[in-house]
């Protein structure tokens, strides 16, 4: 109204504006007013704003009956006061160009640039609560879920299933939910990892069934057959996890070899892609103790690998090891005491670097196992160049941490699997609250929880969890406001 009183002609000077109805929209007809009459000095309206026009928004709908052909007209412009120098102009030359559209539900203001609707203003979403979205009955118990995209195909999910027949299921996101797309024969599959090399998509599976030789398999996406096809096999030992990473344009894979017969103190292996043979070759071996998980991360120009060592044959109270890439190979960076570590999760918040470990069970030299123990979030101290304890969080046989963001908020979800009595427990979502660290905000009932994955699709946010004790995996929708 303030703007209108300044823009409209004074009573008696011109015919008064009329309210008109046009195809369902109502507005003011400014037939008598010239375009320049709609201008006003910003300094008189935005009196406390030093950064005009960065700190204001105007939403308006214009209806102009006729546009002169081949002439661009500004529907909105900002001029420098006094000099008439154009600072900002919104042109109207094509049908939709320059049009604004406000999505009331998502609270987003769009502008059309003549081709696409671009986001002009976005009210940041916030997590409200978690909704039960899809019950996914997989082929058998599911130890791991990998969500990934294939260009021009869409979103997929690979489930690592226990039974050999029909093996593990690959699901495709179609019409708002996951549907079975392909079954792949696996042997007690424990993990899937998606990666791409030169625009080609690959999936590698960790087969943990003890048969000689134990083979894990790399599959390649065939564009012709629109299926994953076998690409290469690699000898592994009770493999529980694969990690894929790139350093200086080289592609690597590392496998977590858990044990060979009853020996847990064996080698895990790093493989490097040979672009000539298009196969992975052994690059380096690292000694691990009941290796369960690998996580790769980079800080500036430095590259790291961290392994979760679970068990050395006697106890789960052992060190897990962070490695740093130096002189063309991985070397020890830091040992961190862990208790049956099953997962490392790497994440950054506001320029700070964190590693969270999931500690699953305390198996001492003698005495019973304890499942309700602390899992720990570590933060990199850039002065001492070591990871130091940031926060302990009580967990119940924790098997996975997953970091995700919704709008500007950061979250960690932990998969709690067992408390010594039951597999039916709450898994917990924690929200980052700065000085307080991670604070529990939601409890999700899970049964034999094994893995959590977060993904975004269709502009919405989801969590999916898999169960190691039942065929039922669940997709949750993160409801926002
Ligand atoms: Ca996973
Ligand atoms: Ca991993
Ligand atoms: Ca994880």
Write out pLDDT tens, residues 90-101.
766 556 667 777
Q: From ligand 3's centre to the CA of 413, what distance in Å?
A: 9
Q: From ligand 3's centre to the CA of 281, what distance in Å?
A: 26
Cα(164)–Cα(270) distance, integer angstroms: 26
Cα(379)–Cα(356) distance, integer angstroms: 9
Q: Are residues 108 and 239 in the same domain?
A: no
Ligand nearest to the CA of 413: 3
Task: Tell the burial category of 198 from Cβ atoms under 10 Å away from its Cβ (0-12, 13-18, 19+).
Answer: exposed
Q: From ligand 1's centre to the CA of 389, what distance in Å?
A: 25
Q: From ligand 1's centre to the CA of 453, what distance in Å?
A: 6
Q: Are residues 192 and 335 in the same domain?
A: yes
Are residues 125 and 481 in contact, defined by beta-carbon separation less than 8 angstroms? yes
Ligand nearest to the CA of 159: 1
3-state secondary structure of 203: strand
Q: By C-alpha distance, which of 311, 271, 319, 265 is closest to 288? A: 265
Which residues are placed with Cβ below 5 angstroms of ligand 3, an ion?
Answer: 343, 345, 400-401
Cα(131)–Cα(262) distance, integer angstroms: 43
3-state secondary structure of 73: strand
Cα(268)–Cα(99) distance, integer angstroms: 58
Q: Taking phi first (over 0 means left), then psi (-120 to 50 degrees means alpha), and beta for anything else, what does residue 343 get?
A: beta
Q: Of the candidates 122, 151, 170, which is a domain's last residue?
A: 122
Q: Are residues 217 and 278 in the same domain?
A: yes
Q: From ligand 2's centre to the CA of 244, what distance in Å?
A: 9
Q: From ligand 1's centre to the CA of 380, what distance in Å?
A: 24
Q: From ligand 3's centre to the CA of 399, what distance in Å?
A: 8
Q: Are residues 416 and 446 in the same domain?
A: yes
Q: Are residues 118 and 139 in the same domain?
A: no
Q: From ligand 3's centre to the CA of 467, what distance in Å?
A: 15
Q: Are residues 82 and 157 in the same domain?
A: no
Cα(39)–Cα(240) distance, integer angstroms: 68
Structure tokens at 35: 């375009």
Q: Are residues 165 and 302 in the same domain?
A: yes
Structural domain span for residue 46:
2-122
Q: From ligand 2's centre to the CA of 172, what distance in Å?
A: 22
Q: Are residues 114 and 213 in the same domain?
A: no
Q: From ligand 2's centre to the CA of 240, what distance in Å?
A: 9
pTM of the model: 0.77
Q: Are residues 118 and 183 in the same domain?
A: no
Residues of the chain with pLDDT under 70: 1-4, 6-7, 9, 30-38, 43, 45-75, 91-97, 105-106, 114-115
The structure tokens 């059309």 sit at 112
Q: Of the candidates 122, 144, 169, which is a domain's last residue?
A: 122
Ligand nearest to the CA of 402: 3
Q: From ligand 3's centre to the CA of 71, what distance in Å?
A: 56
Q: From ligand 3's centre to the CA of 354, what distance in Å?
A: 13
pLDDT in tens, 137-180: 999 999 999 999 999 899 999 999 999 999 999 999 999 999 99
CATH code where residue 250 lies? 2.130.10.10
Backbone angles phi, psi at 273, to 5 degrees: -70, 130
Q: Are residues 168 and 47 in the same domain?
A: no
Are residues 119 and 165 in contact, defined by beta-carbon separation less than 8 angstroms? no
- Residue 268 confidence (pLDDT): 98
The structure tokens 């960690």 sit at 412
Q: How far apart are the first and last CA of the chain?
A: 29
Backbone angles phi, psi at 44, to 5 degrees: -85, -25
How many domains are there within the chain? Answer: 2
Name residues whose C-beta falls within 8 Å of residue 150's C-beta, 6 or more positions apart in sequence: 156, 201, 221
- Residue 112 confidence (pLDDT): 76
Ligand nearest to the CA of 148: 1
Q: Are residues 115 and 135 in the same domain?
A: no
Cα(438)–Cα(413) distance, integer angstroms: 10
Q: From ligand 1's centre to the CA of 131, what distance in Å?
A: 20
Q: From ligand 1's centre to the CA of 196, what distance in Å?
A: 17
Ligand nearest to the CA of 144: 1
Task: Tell the burial category of 300 from Cβ atoms under 10 Å away from its Cβ (0-12, 13-18, 19+).
Answer: exposed
Q: Are residues 115 and 194 in the same domain?
A: no
Q: From ligand 3's centre to the CA of 369, what distance in Å?
A: 23
- Residue 21 confidence (pLDDT): 81
Q: From ligand 2's centre to the CA of 241, what distance in Å?
A: 6
Q: Of the candidates 122, 157, 191, which is a domain's last residue?
A: 122
Q: From ligand 1's centre to the CA of 141, what distance in Å?
A: 14
Q: From ligand 2's centre to the CA of 364, what distance in Å?
A: 25
Structure tokens at 161: 């299933």
């Amino acid at each position: 109204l303030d703007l209108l009183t300044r823009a409209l002609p004074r009573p008696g000077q011109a015919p008064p504006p009329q309210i008109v109805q046009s195809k369902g929209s109502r507005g003011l007809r400014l037939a008598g007013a010239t375009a320049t009459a709609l201008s006003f000095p910003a300094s008189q309206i935005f009196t406390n704003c030093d950064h005009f026009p960065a700190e204001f928004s105007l939403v308006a709908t214009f209806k102009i009956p006729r546009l002169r052909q081949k002439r661009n007209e500004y529907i909105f412009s900002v001029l420098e006061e006094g000099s008439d120098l154009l600072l900002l102009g919104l042109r109207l030359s094509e049908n939709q160009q320059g049009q604004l559209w406000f999505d009331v539900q998502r609270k987003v203001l769009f502008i059309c640039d003549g081709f696409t609707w671009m986001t002009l203003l976005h009210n940041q979403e916030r997590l409200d609560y978690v909704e039960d979205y899809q019950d996914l009955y997989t082929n058998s118990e599911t130890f791991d879920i990998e969500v990934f995209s294939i260009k021009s195909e869409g979103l997929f999910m690979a489930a690592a299933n226990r039974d050999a027949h029909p093996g593990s299921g690959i699901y495709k996101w179609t019409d708002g939910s996951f549907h079975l797309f392909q079954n792949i024969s696996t042997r007690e599959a424990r993990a899937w990892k998606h990666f791409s090399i030169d625009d080609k998509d690959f999936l590698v599976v960790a087969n943990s069934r003890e048969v000689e030789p134990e083979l894990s398999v790399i599959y390649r996406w065939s564009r012709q057959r629109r299926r994953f096809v076998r690409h290469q096999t690699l000898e592994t030992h009770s493999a529980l996890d694969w990690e894929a990473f790139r350093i200086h344009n080289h592609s690597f894979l590392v496998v977590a070899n858990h044990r060979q017969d009853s020996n847990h103190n064996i080698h895990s292996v790093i493989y490097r892609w040979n672009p000539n043979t298009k196969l992975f070759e052994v690059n380096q071996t690292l000694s691990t103790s009941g290796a369960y998980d690998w996580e790769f991360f980079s800080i500036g120009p430095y590259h790291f690998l961290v392994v979760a060592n679970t068990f050395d044959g006697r106890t789960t109270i052992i060190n897990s090891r962070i490695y740093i890439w130096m002189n063309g190979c991985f070397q020890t960076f830091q040992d961190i005491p862990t208790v049956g570590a099953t997962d490392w999760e790497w994440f950054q918040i506001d320029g700070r670097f964190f590693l969270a470990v999931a500690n699953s069970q305390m198996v001492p030299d003698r005495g019973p196992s304890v499942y309700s123990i602390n899992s720990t979030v570590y933060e990199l101290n850039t002065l001492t160049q070591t990871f130091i304890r940031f926060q302990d969080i009580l967990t119940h046989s924790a098997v996975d941490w997953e970091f995700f963001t919704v709008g500007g908020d950061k979250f960690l979800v932990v998969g709690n699997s067992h408390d010594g009595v039951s597999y039916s427990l709450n898994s917990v979502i924690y929200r980052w609250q700065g000085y307080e660290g991670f604070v529990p905000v939601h409890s999700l009932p899970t049964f034999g929880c094994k893995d959590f994955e977060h993904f975004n699709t269709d502009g919405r946010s989801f969590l999916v969890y898999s169960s190691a004790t039942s065929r039922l995996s669940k997709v949750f929708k993160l409801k926002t406001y």
